[in-house]
Chain A
Amino acid sequence: MAEPLLDIQGLKTWFKTDDGLVRAVDGVDLRIDRGETVGVVGESGCGKTVTARSVLKLIDMPPGRFEAGRILWQGRDLIPLDDAEMNKIRSREIAIIFQEPMTSLNPVYSVGEQIAEVIELHQNLSRKQALVGAADMLKLVNIPNPERRVHDYPHQFSGGMRQRVMIAMALSCQPKLLIADEPTTALDVTIQAQILELMQEMKERFGMAIMLITHAMGVVAETAQRVVVMYAGKVVEEAPVGALFGNPRHPYTQGLIRSIPRVDRSAGQQARLESIPGTVPSLLDPPPGCRFAARCKYAMEICTQAIPPLKEVAPGHKVACVL
């Protein structure tokens, strides 16, 4: 197999807080190949965002620290790199877009200046050339009147348009990997469809890989080729998208899929939603053994004793469950 673009091995990102050590990411393995879209799903606090930010080393240290593991970017470990070296990778090779486009744009600079800054910094162009480049990027992401809009400020754009600006900025250096952290969660459903389509279009055009972090199973089903399911800081299942939805093996994944109401099925077929009892455990003092055991209907004694390893049950389909 060719060398993966990104290979996260046994990553542990912990945070020291007043209440104790929070094991936000606690031994995560995740691989992304060139040109592939990998969906990372899970509920709030499962560690998906911390995993993504760890890749770009956007974690404040302290309180955070890398306890263990490696983040191999095209074979090179990013963890020992200093900030100057990381800056060569950020934007140019790995770019990120966030959930809330308003808070991730600077309100006192025009969007053109903000995009141009990225281009100028990473491509050694003059400010003037960079501004032209910025307008081209806005045009690429289908913002009407790009030459005029380049001088506008973030508040003059709608939520969907701001997310387009963020995508334009992220793509301005043609990265090999785009990390999209809940890119459509703050958007309305018709605008979400537009943004997902745009991301797909850009991916085909630049051949980049996408790490799509979301809690929306529907979004993942429609865009990702491979899916990684996280629960309480760990990967519980990983599979090609068809297998994950067609034959989910981990009880958490099964519960997650069955708990979503489906528009394409009549209420009669789905009279009652299956719900997962209880709530997500605290990461301050995670239970020994499988972290899902307390909510799992198949839990046995062994589940509370040892952490089940991620095992391959079918080609490319890995599950962390004793069953």
Chain B
Amino acid sequence: MSEKEALLSVHDLKKHFAVSGGIFSREVDRVYAVDGVSFDIAAGETLGLVGESGCGKSTTGRCILRLIEPSSGEVWFKGTDVRKMDGTALRALRRDMQIIFQDPYASLNPRLTVGAIVGEALTIHNLAKSRREHEDRVVQLLETVGLQPDHLRRFPHEFSGGQRQRIGIARALAVEPKLIVCDEPVSALDVSIQAQVINLLEDLQEKFGLTYLFIAHDLSVVEHISTRIAVMYLGRVVEIAPSRELYDTPLHPYSEALLSAVPIPDPTVKRQRIMLQGDVPNPIRPPSGCHFHTRCPIAKPDCATRVPELRESKPGHWVSCHYRG
């Protein structure tokens, strides 16, 4: 995909966190949280970003919005480099790119009313000409996400988890963004409520032509909502493919194991499970070569020395493995 078609294009994004220690808080180590991530998202599509805890998926999402400053790499949004933006340009960018967080309890200010939370961005970006218009717009947003107009004057603690997540979505929608980074938006919710929020996100995408970067560890949810999926392992993307194709024919041994580990809610389905040995290694000292070689069932000696490139194995299906694809 060329940069022209892509709404968002990420090139070789890296984020290393310093681990300080010793008497003068010198940098003693580095966490390679995101270690060379590249992908594109086309307008109107949903790219799912999956991987286990600590793989760098949330850091990637936050680097794109520059909520965390990336260490290196490029982030192109509608043809401009997000990393070179400052003050005014960055504020304008935030109108186009929004985020929904995982924890609906921690991401809403408990001292503000729902109206103030949702309306804050309207004030910051001067999107309402009068108080009347401001309030009308907030009410409209609440209705869009399935809340009642009278919820306006209530505080977050009066709402359930699912309703709070709706408030978070209304807040993101207030500035009419083009791209929303959804960072584990349903992970904290019960299954029956999870389905409500997923359906809402899908409806909103259709209605407003939104583009999503959907970050989650629950593969069933990601498969359901995504057009394409990128699988991350220890700070790197190991595979990108159209959603269904990834599930039917995963190429990378890690994707394969990850998918086979998902429990299926149907006792009549029996599958061969690929059991991975050991734990995810520490991102402070990630394994050399291919990061996955320590747990990989098909690893050969050179996997420990050569870093595999992400290459296109079939049209639209990218994989980074020396021996697959």
- Beta-carbon contact of A246 and B265 below 8 Å: no
Most buried by A among B199, B224, B261, B266: B266
Q: Which chain A residues numbered 260 to 292 have a C-beta less than 8 Å away from chain B?
A: 260-264, 266-267, 270, 272-277, 279-280
Which residues of A sit under 8 angstroms from B269, Cβ to Cβ? Answer: 264
Q: Which chain B residues numbered 242 to 274 have a C-beta less than 8 Å away from chain A?
A: 243-244, 247, 257-259, 261-269, 273
Ordered by A's residue number, 22 sampled pairs between the chains whose C-beta atoms are within 8 Å are A44-B190, A188-B52, A188-B53, A188-B217, A189-B219, A190-B258, A191-B279, A194-B275, A196-B263, A219-B263, A221-B264, A221-B265, A221-B267, A242-B268, A263-B259, A267-B223, A267-B224, A267-B244, A270-B224, A275-B193, A275-B199, A276-B196
- Beta-carbon contact of B195 and A276 below 8 Å: yes
Which residues of B sit under 8 angstroms from A191, Cβ to Cβ? Answer: 52, 279
- Beta-carbon contact of B265 and A267 below 8 Å: no
Q: Which chain B residues numbered 154 to 208 have a C-beta less than 8 Å away from chain A?
A: 160, 162-163, 190-196, 198-199, 202
Pick the contact of B52: A189, A257, A274, A280 (CB < 8 A): A189
Which residues of B sit under 8 angstroms from A196, Cβ to Cβ? Answer: 263
Interface footprint category on B: 35 or more
A-B residue pair count with CB separations less than 8 angstroms: 125
B128 interface contact, C-beta 8 A: no
Pick the contact of A190: B52, B190, B193, B225 (CB < 8 A): B52
Which residues of B sit under 8 angstroms from A192, Cβ to Cβ? Answer: 261, 263
- Beta-carbon contact of B263 and A43 below 8 Å: no
Which residues of B sit under 8 angstroms from A245, Cβ to Cβ? Answer: 265-268
Which residues of B sit under 8 angstroms from A160, Cβ to Cβ? Answer: 279
- Beta-carbon contact of A217 and B280 below 8 Å: no
State in angstroms the CA–CA spacing of A215 and B189 once bound together.
11
A74 interface contact, C-beta 8 A: no
- Beta-carbon contact of A261 and B267 below 8 Å: no
Pick the contact of A189: B162, B193, B217 (CB < 8 A): B217
20 more CB-based (< 8 A) A-B contacts, given A161-B279, A191-B279, A275-B193: A43-B190, A43-B192, A189-B219, A190-B258, A217-B265, A221-B263, A221-B265, A222-B267, A242-B267, A245-B268, A246-B267, A260-B191, A261-B221, A263-B219, A266-B244, A267-B224, A272-B202, A275-B192, A275-B196, A276-B196
State in angstroms the CA–CA spacing of A217 and B323 once bound together.
35
A129 interface contact, C-beta 8 A: no
Most buried by B among A158, A160, A222, A273: A273
- Beta-carbon contact of B261 and A263 below 8 Å: no
Pick the contact of B191: A161, A221, A259 (CB < 8 A): A259
